[in-house]
């Protein structure tokens, strides 16, 4: 694992953002882990990024889908995050990874009606994060292997996010000729 202290900080801040139902902070925290993941190609960082992103998507649903169990749901999320933090502080990577696995399963059983949607959130989160890793210069093939996705899924998503070029004012032909003459003289 690379950047243990960074992951600890991300998890601590994630815990706070969940308690505060702060979706924007959860998205920011997820994005912070991508840089490290892309440099070191570290699966632990990638897992944390995807989980935090998915948590952000789920917490966001609190506004549109009020559910009487939100306190219980967030308490369970926090319980597993605290377990992951404790394991990481003890340098017990196996236990840390198990806690992340428990957290994923908890997210999946969040609501029987949303189980399919949550799985799709994980898939979309993985694709989103994969495209960001790809943007940082890691090959599509390596990125796909890291996240268990197809190259096609990543490239399709990355292509959809390409910025359209900004239209700028054109230079008058007279000024263009003047610039060219200065350049070649």
Q: Identify the pLDDT of residue 99.
A: 94
Model confidence over 58-105: pLDDT tens digits?
888 777 776 667 777 788 899 999 999 999 999 999 999 999 988 888
- Give the pLDDT band of residue 118 (cuts 50, 70, 90): low
Q: What is the chain's length? A: 185
pTM of this structure: 0.62
108 contacts 115 by C-beta, under 8 angstroms: yes
What's the Cα-to-Cα distance from 74 to each of 16, 105, 123, 173, rounded to whole Å? 11, 14, 21, 63
Report the candidate in 34, 45, 28 with the shortest Cα–Cα distance to residue 131. 34
Q: Identify the pLDDT of residue 17.
A: 93
Report the alpha-carbon distance of residue 42 to residue 143 in Å, rounded.
11
Q: Identify the pLDDT of residue 92.
A: 94
The DSSP 8-state label assigned to residue 171 in this structure reads P
Model confidence over 154-177: pLDDT tens digits?
777 767 665 555 555 567 878 878
Report the alpha-carbon distance of residue 43 to residue 90 in Å, rounded.
19
């Amino acid at each position: 694992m690379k950047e243990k202290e960074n992951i600890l900080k991300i998890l601590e801040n994630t815990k706070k953002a969940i308690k505060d139902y702060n979706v924007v902070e959860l998205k920011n925290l997820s994005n912070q882990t991508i840089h490290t993941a892309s440099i070191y190609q570290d699966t632990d960082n990638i897992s944390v990024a995807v989980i935090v992103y998915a948590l952000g998507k789920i917490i966001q649903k609190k506004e549109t889908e009020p559910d009487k169990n939100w306190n219980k749901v967030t308490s369970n999320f926090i319980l597993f995050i605290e377990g992951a933090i404790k394991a990481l502080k003890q340098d017990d990577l196996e236990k840390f990874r198990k806690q992340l696995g428990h957290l994923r399963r908890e997210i999946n059983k969040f609501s029987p009606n949303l189980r399919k949607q949550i799985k799709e959130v994980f898939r979309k989160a993985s694709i989103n994060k994969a495209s960001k890793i790809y943007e940082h210069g890691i090959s599509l093939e390596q990125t796909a292997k890291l996240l268990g996705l197809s190259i096609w899924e990543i490239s399709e998503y990355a292509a959809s996010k390409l910025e359209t070029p900004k239209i700028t004012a054109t230079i008058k032909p007279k000024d263009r000729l003047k610039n060219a003459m200065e350049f070649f003289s």
